[in-house]
């Protein structure tokens, strides 16, 4: 169990903590999170701020574990599998929860998850043929945009909300568009693998 894999496992643990924090009926258990009143019109539930902080920390491990694995030549098949699982647990679960709670439009998680399913299928087919599908630039930009958009959403789009700038929504919309673009690019770059006899 090398350091990159430990970081990936920590991301899974933080993801589970975020899910519990956002879904557990704390009020029924008699637990109240403090609410903050900002600018006399915005009520902020502190549990989303805690979840946002955890999400940022988890997102940082996503970049750090891959960097360390490559730098220290510790890239393993188990690490790749674990990293992919951790990414989906973190991002997709939070997107679904935010959509179900009315923070974002449901089309965002639908587009992201469908695209990821298609790209992962392409990668699996390529792997079965002994080929590795490398990450592409549009996919990396999509991931970064998505992470920042989710983080801002969990932080109630502050401080931009005070100026009526819907930055979080804009970033998530851009991430959805980039998901479609990068998904098409993955297909075009690897379609020769899909139709090999």
Q: What is the pLDDT of residue 147?
A: 96
pLDDT of 7 over the 80 cut? yes
- Residue 30 Rama label (left phi>0; alpha psi -120 to 50; beta): left
Residue 152 has pLDDT above 90, yes or no: yes
Distance CA 99, CA 169 (A): 12
Cα angle, residue 99 at apex, residues 95 and 100 outer, rounded to 5°: 120
Half-sphere exposure for 24 (CA within 13 Å, toward CB): 15
Give the model confidence (pLDDT) of 54-93 as tens digits: 999 999 998 898 888 888 888 887 888 898 899 999 999 9
- pTM (2 d.p.): 0.93
Percent of all residues in the chain with a pLDDT value above 70, rounded to a whole number: 99
Domain ranges of the chain: 3-194
Q: What distances in angstroms separate CA 126 from CA 48, 115, 120, 130, one per listed residue?
A: 39, 17, 10, 6
Mean pLDDT along residues 133-142: 88
Domain 3-194: CATH superfamily is: CDP-alcohol phosphotransferase transmembrane (TM) domain (1.20.120.1760)
DSSP state of 147: H
**What is the separation, in whole angstroms, between the first and last Cα of the chain?**
39
Q: Is the pLDDT of residue 194 over 90?
A: no
What's the pLDDT score for residue 197? 58
Residue 145 predicted with pLDDT over 90: yes
Is pLDDT above 70 for 124? yes
Position 1 pLDDT exceeds 80: no
Q: What is the pLDDT of residues 100-119, one digit of tens each?
A: 999 999 999 999 999 999 99
pLDDT given for residue 105 in this prediction: 96
Range from 7-11, 27-31, 51-55, 130-134 carrying the lowest mean pLDDT: 130-134
User: Which letter does DSSP use for residue 160 in this model?
Assistant: G
* DSSP letter string, 15-58: HHHHHHHHHS-TTTTT----EEEETTTEEEEHHHHHHHHHHHHH
What's the confidence (pLDDT) of residue 126? Answer: 85
């Amino acid at each position: 169990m090398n350091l990159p894999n430990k970081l990936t496992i920590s991301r899974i643990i933080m993801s589970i903590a975020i899910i519990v924090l956002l879904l557990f009926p704390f009020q029924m258990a008699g637990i109240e999170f403090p609410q903050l009143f900002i600018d006399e019109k915005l009520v902020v539930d502190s549990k989303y701020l805690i979840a946002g902080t955890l999400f940022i920390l988890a997102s940082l491990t996503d970049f750090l574990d891959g960097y360390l694995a490559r730098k220290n030549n510790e890239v393993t098949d188990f690490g790749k599998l674990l990293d992919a699982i951790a990414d989906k647990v973190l991002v997709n679960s939070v997107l679904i929860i935010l959509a179900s709670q009315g923070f974002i439009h449901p089309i965002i998680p639908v587009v992201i998850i469908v695209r990821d399913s298609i790209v992962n299928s392409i990668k699996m087919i390529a792997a079965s043929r002994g080929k590795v599908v490398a990450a592409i630039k549009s996919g990396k930009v999509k991931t970064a945009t998505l992470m920042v958009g989710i983080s801002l959403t969990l932080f109630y789009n502050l401080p931009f909300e005070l100026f009526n700038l819907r930055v979080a929504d804009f970033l998530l919309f851009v991430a959805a568009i980039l998901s479609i673009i990068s998904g098409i690019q993955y297909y075009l770059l690897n379609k020769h693998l899909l139709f090999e006899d």
